[in-house]
């Protein structure tokens, strides 16, 4: 019996280090690494059943070929040789007939690792040689990153572990207890030192209920709240004049903008009591220690999400919070992981420049791209459930002339449309390198056991696919396409930053994790951005009205939160998850329930002119505010995103999941079905 150090690969800020116990070649236990400063020995309840998921009866263990119509989910088992030979022949046929750009490698965040996951240099190398279209993972956080780039610059404006030194902590759209739970002990340590915790969230989440104050604003009004709070702080003289004079640009213009944002206007737009805004401003100004803002991703999934993130950062910008230990705004620590993706991915293999598609535009791309997309390779993604416009995604994937290959762990609503499903290894069955977006520890995941069944790692799948392609084109015999996981890891770490810090792959592999150097603090802040103006945005942060406001006819603004049981759609289709969850619960206020003659516990239909789904109704005035319905995201057969339109946000092709007006009505009861779709 021995132990192997690894890391959780899932799309979660915490990026946990774990320890796998192996007995006679079988993984028998998985636990959080007690020696890791951030993980501190604990994993979340989503990941604790990991080994149960690995043995789940629904797991795909062999290559499968479609034998029925697309969408029916009818497959037969085939050999790897058969699957890869046919896929290779069809990819070459598409390339030769339409050009390589007719192939789209569609990668999601089911695994956010650098080698097997979202980075996937093995797949990128091969796709570059094919001349395939490039892919942008725009579904999660891009709007916030771009918005913040106009103000504070990088999204890591504070080390999350330093939050213990803050005087006021604002958890803005961040349900830390559910989606970032390893940050919570640091927050509690700050609270023990008399820090004030303020939650800004349209939903009364567990985190909001544990905070000292909760601003339960209307969805999509974050920018308005930020501007009104900035006005109140300025009127109280809370700004740092020395910092503003020497370290910022455009303060005078921004201060003039604030004259149009009195507390009364902000409160009205946000649906809050004006006294709440005054209370928060007083707490910020009176604190002798800095303001820390943890910005979550949900608040930027609106039409104007980038501008909202930019506006929120102006609070720490005017206070000069970045100068002080524990102060500043952190959205993601990912910019600190300055890996050499270019060396790993080898863009030089491409025959020339190629077009780039945003994953959030899947329907538009598959239906309107010119030249058309003829083949799509989906890995680490479940777009039928996760993408906007689920109905449109199904329609687009139903094209009989589209070659669709899915690399997956479990049957999903997306794999039902695949021509081939290729079984993937799980994290404890492969080598991987992982980062985090809530700490500064780089992880190496050592392979603990062999993959179950005939499952293969993504890197091995692409190595074998390259060999199959060589039968049609000798260019695919390039040794770069047979690189090992260690080769990729060493290439990724070949940077000046890693070298100057003395961080090597050998040291990483030996310990399982390494602390990155402390990033430099934010030294300049921009309130009025010429670059934003050149990019078609306003020079100053602004708030615009909601795209789909309630109109007095009984509509609900639907907000989809992170789930307690699965991360996005990962593991939502396992037998274990389906046994404890069926239809998603949708939560509304008692006043809305009374108005619409609805009762807690009944089955309801939730929808709009784009689509609908069924849910179990919960009436809860602690969680729900009037006019807002909340639900957890990532449910399989119940396609919550059927109600969401495919439209870009203001920055970075982000999705607008939360600009979504729906109706809720009674629905007939139905027999439960736990079979995966």
Domain closes at, from 457, 484, 511 = 484
Asked whether the predicted pLDDT for residue 606 surpasses 90, the reply is yes
Side-by-side strand order, sheet with 17-23 = 2-7, 17-23, 26-32
- pLDDT for 548 equals 67
- pLDDT for 406 equals 98
- pLDDT for 584 equals 83
**Burial readout 47-63 (b: 16 or more C-beta within 10 A, e: otherwise):** bebbbebbebebbbebb
**Contact status, residue 440 vs residue 93, Cβ threshold 8 Å:** no
**Do both 329 and 190 map to the same domain?**
yes
d(Cα 435, Cα 442) in Å, to the nearest integer? Answer: 5
Asked whether the predicted pLDDT for residue 677 surpasses 80, the reply is no
**Do both 37 and 172 map to the same domain?**
no
Does residue 297 lie within any of the structural domains? yes
- pLDDT for 119 equals 77
**Do both 418 and 560 map to the same domain?**
no
The CATH code of the domain that includes 575 is 2.40.40.20
**Do both 105 and 151 map to the same domain?**
no
Q: What is the pLDDT of residues 213-259, one digit of tens each?
A: 999 999 999 999 999 999 999 999 999 999 999 999 999 999 999 99
d(Cα 566, Cα 47) in Å, to the nearest integer? Answer: 8
Confidence label for 576 from pLDDT (cuts 50, 70 and 90): low
pTM of the model: 0.95
The CATH code of the domain that includes 375 is 3.40.50.740
Q: Print the domain residue range for 642.
A: 556-666
**Do both 474 and 364 map to the same domain?**
yes
Share of the chain above pLDDT 90, in %: 90
**Do both 39 and 147 map to the same domain?**
no
- pLDDT for 567 equals 80
**Do both 185 and 285 map to the same domain?**
yes
d(Cα 9, Cα 428) in Å, to the nearest integer? Answer: 10
- pLDDT for 524 equals 98
- pLDDT for 578 equals 63
**Contact status, residue 327 vs residue 291, Cβ threshold 8 Å:** yes
**Do both 79 and 129 map to the same domain?**
yes
Across the chain, what does the average pLDDT equal? Answer: 94
Does residue 508 lie within any of the structural domains? no
Does residue 211 lie within any of the structural domains? yes
Q: What is the pLDDT of residues 16-26, one digit of tens each?
A: 999 999 999 99
Q: What is the pLDDT of residues 477-532, one digit of tens each?
A: 999 999 999 999 999 999 999 999 999 999 999 999 999 998 899 999 999 999 99
The CATH code of the domain that includes 32 is 2.20.25.90
Rounded to 5 degrees, what are φ and ψ at 409? -100, -40
Asked whether the predicted pLDDT for residue 83 surpasses 50, the reply is yes
Asked whether the predicted pLDDT for residue 127 surpasses 60, the reply is yes
The CATH code of the domain that includes 255 is 3.40.228.10
Does residue 260 lie within any of the structural domains? yes
**Do both 305 and 164 map to the same domain?**
yes
DSSP string, 20-73: EEEETTEEEEEEE-TT-TTTTT---TTTTTHHHHHT-TT---S-EEE-S-TTS-
Asked whether the predicted pLDDT for residue 581 surpasses 70, the reply is no
Does residue 303 lie within any of the structural domains? yes
Q: What is the pLDDT of residues 389-445, one digit of tens each?
A: 999 999 999 999 999 999 999 999 999 999 999 999 999 999 999 999 999 999 999
Does residue 540 lie within any of the structural domains? no
**Do both 154 and 290 map to the same domain?**
yes
**Do both 323 and 256 map to the same domain?**
yes
- pLDDT for 639 equals 82
Q: Which long-range contacts (CB under 8 A, 24 or more apart) does 246-252 make?
A: 247/320, 247/523, 247/524, 247/525, 248/317, 248/524, 248/525, 248/526, 248/527, 249/524, 249/525, 249/526, 249/527, 249/528, 250/526, 250/527, 250/528, 250/529, 250/539, 250/540, 251/318, 251/527
**Do both 149 and 130 map to the same domain?**
no
Give the number of domains in the chain. Answer: 4
Share of the chain above pLDDT 70, in %: 95
Confidence label for 566 from pLDDT (cuts 50, 70 and 90): confident
Does residue 502 lie within any of the structural domains? no
Does residue 544 lie within any of the structural domains? no
**Contact status, residue 347 vs residue 121, Cβ threshold 8 Å:** no
- pLDDT for 633 equals 84
């Amino acid at each position: 019996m021995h132990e192997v150090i690894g890391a959780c690969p899932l799309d979660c800020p915490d990026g946990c280090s774990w320890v796998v116990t192996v007995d006679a070649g079988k993984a028998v236990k998985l636990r959080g690494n007690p020696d890791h400063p951030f993980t501190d020995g604990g994993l979340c309840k989503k990941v604790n059943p990991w080994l149960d998921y690995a043995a789940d009866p629904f797991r795909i263990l062999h290559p499968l070929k479609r034998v029925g119509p697309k969408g029916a989910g009818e497959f037969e088992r085939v050999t790897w040789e058969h699957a890869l030979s046919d896929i290779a022949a069809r990819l070459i046929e598409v390339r030769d007939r339409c050009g390589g750009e007719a192939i789209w490698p569609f990668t999601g965040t089911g695994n956010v690792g650098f080698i097997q996951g979202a980075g996937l240099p093995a797949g990128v190398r091969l796709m570059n040689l094919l001349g395939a279209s490039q892919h942008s993972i725009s579904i999660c956080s891009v709007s916030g990153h771009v918005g913040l780039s106009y103000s504070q610059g990088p999204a890591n404006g504070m080390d999350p572990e330093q939050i213990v030194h803050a005087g006021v902590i604002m958890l803005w759209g961040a349900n830390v207890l559910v989606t970032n739970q390893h940050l919570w002990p640091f927050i509690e340590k700050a609270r023990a030192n008399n820090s004030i915790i303020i939650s800004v969230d349209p939903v009364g989440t567990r985190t909001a209920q544990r905070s000292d104050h909760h601003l339960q604003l209307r969805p999509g009004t974050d920018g308005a709240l930020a501007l009104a709070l900035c006005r109140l702080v300025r009127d109280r003289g809370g700004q740092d004049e020395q910092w503003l004079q020497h370290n910022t640009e455009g303060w005078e213009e921004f201060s003039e903008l604030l004259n149009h944002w009195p507390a009364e206007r902000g409160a009205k737009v946000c649906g809050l009591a004006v006294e709440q805004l005054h209370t928060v401003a007083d707490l910020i100004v009176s604190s002798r220690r800095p303001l820390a803002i943890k910005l979550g991703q949900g608040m930027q999934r609106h039409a104007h999400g980038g501008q909202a993130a930019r506006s929120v950062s102006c609070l720490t910008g005017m206070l000069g919070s970045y100068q002080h230990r524990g102060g500043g705004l952190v959205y993601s620590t990912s910019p600190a992981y300055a890996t050499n993706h270019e060396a790993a991915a080898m863009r030089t293999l491409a025959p020339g420049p190629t077009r780039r598609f945003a994953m959030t535009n899947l329907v538009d791309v598959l239906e309107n791209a010119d030249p058309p997309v003829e083949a799509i390779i989906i890995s680490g993604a479940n777009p039928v459930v996760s993408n906007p416009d689920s109905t449109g995604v199904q329609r687009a994937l139903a094209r009989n002339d589209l070659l669709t290959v899915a690399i997956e762990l479990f049957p999903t609503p997306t794999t039902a449309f695949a021509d081939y499903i290729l079984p993937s290894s799980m994290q404890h069955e492969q080598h991987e390198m992982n980062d985090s977006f809530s700490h500064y520890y780089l992880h190496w995941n050592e392979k603990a056991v062999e993959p179950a069944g005939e499952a293969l790692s993504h890197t091995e799948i692409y190595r074998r696919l390259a060999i199959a392609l060589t039968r049609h084109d000798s260019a695919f015999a390039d040794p770069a396409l047979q690189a090992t996981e260690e080769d990729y890891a060493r290439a990724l770490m070949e940077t000046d930053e890693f070298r100057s810090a003395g961080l090597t792959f050998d040291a990483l592999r030996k310990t399982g994790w390494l602390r990155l150097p402390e990033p430099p603090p934010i030294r300049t802040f921009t309130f009025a951005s010429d670059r934003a103006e050149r990019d078609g945005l306003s020079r100053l942060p602004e708030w615009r009205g909601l795209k789909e406001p309630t109109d007095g006819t009984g509509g609900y603004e639907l907000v989809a939160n992170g789930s307690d049981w699965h991360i996005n759609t990962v593991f939502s289709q396992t037998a274990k998850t389906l046994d404890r969850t069926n239809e998603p619960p949708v939560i509304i206020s008692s006043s809305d329930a009374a108005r619409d003659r609805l009762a807690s516990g009944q089955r309801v239909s939730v929808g709009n002119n784009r689509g609908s789904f069924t849910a179990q109704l919960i009436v809860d005035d602690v969680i729900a505010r009037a006019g807002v319905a909340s639900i957890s995201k990532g449910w399989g057969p119940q396609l919550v995103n059927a109600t969401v339109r495919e439209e870009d946000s203001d920055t970075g092709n982000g999705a607008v999941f939360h600009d979504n007006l729906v109706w809720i009505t009674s629905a007939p009861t139905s027999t439960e079905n736990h079979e995966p779709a």
